[in-house]
């Protein structure tokens, strides 16, 4: 386990400059954006004095470098500042909302993989036949639908018309009691608490947003799986394996798939990052209390601390995903040596 650990440390160290860059850029960008938080939060009919008061409190009357230094100083102490919109420390906001986003994203990712990988394999194995056309149709169709639209369409069909899905009001029914929080993942927490009715409620609430989000991932994943499998299936070693009369399933799912996994893994990394941004709109449609909807509101209100915190959190998440994918590379493909 030690080499894996040292790899993680070196990778993290290598990514540090990128994170510093993110800190700088997010700080600069929020200041460059139009909008003035002091005016926004000064109330319904702000007097110039009330605005000036707020500027002082928010340090907005200080030169930019002073603001930046104080931001970095806080950052080093693990303090991301306080969100004006929610009135809470940003760290607390993000950590209470991140599990909701991760739960949704992971569910969507799992769903997308369960559909995309078999579909891609089937498409590759039966190239040019009806199943391949279905594969192409599904991937193109899923790519063509914007997440916002899919979300609303699903709500309309399954909630409004058919009444099969629960009201799009977040993770649980409005008056339900949430299980005691352990992991922040509603489904896991409900299972741990053995509260089966809440578990069912949580799953029911997760289905529609997860499907809407998965649609965004199915397209690229199917295409890449199909392409990679096509390449591998026509390669020499598979032909040789066929010559040895190995069972068909072992050939496809063990030897071929393992070799086709590399590009798929890379795509998973991409798609995961993409899903986190797609989350922003899905969370809005389903009132999902994640970090996407949080960031959107913060941006509208020029809530600097919250926006910077969100960007930093997502950047860190990307870095972690990349490291995880790197490590998976090594497991899937022995040619990619750990730490190499």
Partner 1 sequence: MHRRTFLQLAGAGATSGFLTTPLLAQGASDRVLIVSEMNANSLDTHTVGANRAAYGLVWMTYDRLITFGTKTLANGVKSYDYTKLEPQLAESWEFAADNMSVTFKLRRDATFHDGTPVRAQDVKWSFDRFVKVGGFPQRQMEQGSLSSTDQFEVVDDHTFRVKFLRPDKLTMPSLAIVVPSVYNSELCKKNATASDPWALDWTKNNSAGSGAFKVESFKSSEQVVLARFDGWKGGKLPAIQRAMYRNVAAAGTRRALVEKRDADISPDLPPREIADIEASKKLKVQASPMANTLKYLALSTIIKPFDDVRVRQAIAYAIPYQKVLDSAVFGRAQPMFGAKSDTPSDASWPQPFPYSYDPDKAKALLKDAGLASGFETKLFFDAQVATTDEPAALVIQDELGKLGIKIGIEKLPDFPARRNQKAWPMAIDVFGAWFDDPDFFFRWIWHGQNAVWNLSSYKSAEMDKLLDAARQERDGAAYASLVKQFVKLAMTDVPVIPLFQPILEVVTQPDISGYTYMFHRQVDATTLVRG
Tokens of 150: 């899919």
Assess contact for 83 and 298: CB atoms under 8 A.
Answer: yes
CB of 149 to partner 1, least distance (A): 4
Residue 115's CB is within 10 A of a number of other CB atoms, namely 20
Using the minimum distance from each CB to partner 1, give the nearer residue, 41 or 318.
41
CB of 305 to partner 1, least distance (A): 11
Using the minimum distance from each CB to partner 1, give the nearer residue, 2 or 175.
175
Assess contact for 246 and 137: CB atoms under 8 A.
Answer: no
Helix axes 130-144, 196-233, angle to 10 degrees: 120
Give the footprint of partner 1 on this chain (CB under 8 A).
33-36, 39-51, 53-54, 57, 84-88, 93, 146, 148-149, 152-153, 155-156, 159-161, 163, 166-169, 173-175, 284-287, 289, 293, 296-297, 300
Tokens of 241: 């394996």
Using the minimum distance from each CB to partner 1, give the nearer residue, 159 or 255.
159
Between CA 235 and CA 178 the distance in angstroms is 53
Using the minimum distance from each CB to partner 1, give the nearer residue, 123 or 170.
170
CB of 108 to partner 1, least distance (A): 19
CB of 63 to partner 1, least distance (A): 18
* Backbone phi, psi, residue 299, to 5°: -65, -45
Question: Measured between alpha carbons, how far is residue 254 from residues 195, 248, 268, 326, 335 in Å?
Answer: 39, 10, 19, 21, 17
Using the minimum distance from each CB to partner 1, give the nearer residue, 83 or 267.
83
Using the minimum distance from each CB to partner 1, give the nearer residue, 13 or 45.
45
Tokens of 333: 């493909």
Assess contact for 205 and 170: CB atoms under 8 A.
Answer: yes
CB of 85 to partner 1, least distance (A): 6
Between CA 26 and CA 44 the distance in angstroms is 29
- Three-state DSSP state, 322: helix
Q: Please enumerate in sequence order all residues whose Cβ is within 8 A of that of 45, keeping only pairs 6 or more positions apart, or say none.
A: none
Residue 89's DSSP bridge partners are: 82
Using the minimum distance from each CB to partner 1, give the nearer residue, 272 or 310.
310
CB of 319 to partner 1, least distance (A): 28
Question: Exposed, middle or buried: residue 9 (CB in 10 Å: 0-12, 13-18, 19+)?
Answer: exposed
CB of 124 to partner 1, least distance (A): 33
Using the minimum distance from each CB to partner 1, give the nearer residue, 155 or 187.
155
Between CA 23 and CA 21 the distance in angstroms is 5
CB of 101 to partner 1, least distance (A): 14
């Amino acid at each position: 386990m030690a080499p894996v650990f040292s790899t993680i440390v070196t990778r993290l160290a290598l990514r540090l400059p990128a994170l510093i860059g993110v800190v700088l850029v997010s700080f600069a960008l929020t200041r460059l954006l139009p909008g003035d938080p002091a005016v926004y939060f000064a109330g319904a009919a702000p007097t110039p004095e009330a605005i000036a008061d707020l500027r002082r409190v928010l340090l907005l009357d200080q030169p930019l470098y002073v603001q930046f230094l104080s931001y970095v100083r806080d950052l080093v102490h693990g303090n991301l500042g306080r969100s004006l919109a929610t009135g809470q420390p940003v760290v607390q906001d993000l950590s209470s909302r991140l599990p909701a986003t991760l739960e949704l994203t992971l569910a969507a990712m799992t769903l997308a993989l369960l559909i995309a990988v078999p579909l891609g394999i089937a498409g590759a194995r039966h190239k040019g036949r009806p199943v391949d056309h279905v594969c192409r149709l599904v991937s193109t169709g899923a790519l063509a639908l914007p997440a916002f639209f899919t979300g609303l369409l699903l709500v309309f069909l399954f909630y409004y018309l058919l009444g099969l899905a629960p009201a799009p009001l977040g993770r649980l029914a409005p008056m339900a009691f949430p299980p005691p929080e352990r992991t922040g993942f509603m489904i896991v927490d409900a299972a741990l608490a053995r509260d089966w009715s809440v578990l069912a409620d949580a799953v029911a609430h997760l289905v529609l947003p997860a499907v809407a989000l998965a649609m965004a991932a199915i397209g690229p994943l199917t295409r890449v799986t199909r392409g990679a499998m096509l390449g591998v299936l026509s390669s020499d070693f598979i032909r040789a394996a066929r010559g040895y009369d190995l069972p068909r399933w072992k050939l496809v799912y063990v030897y071929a798939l393992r070799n086709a996994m590399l590009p798929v893994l890379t795509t998973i990394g991409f798609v995961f990052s993409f899903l986190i941004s797609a989350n922003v709109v899905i969370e809005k449609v389903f009132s999902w209390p994640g970090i996407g909807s949080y960031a959107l509101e913060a941006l509208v209100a020029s809530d600097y601390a919250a926006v910077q915190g969100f960007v930093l959190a997502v950047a860190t998440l990307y870095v972690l995903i990349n490291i995880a994918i790197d490590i998976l590379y090594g497991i899937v493909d022995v040619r990619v040596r750990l730490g190499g």
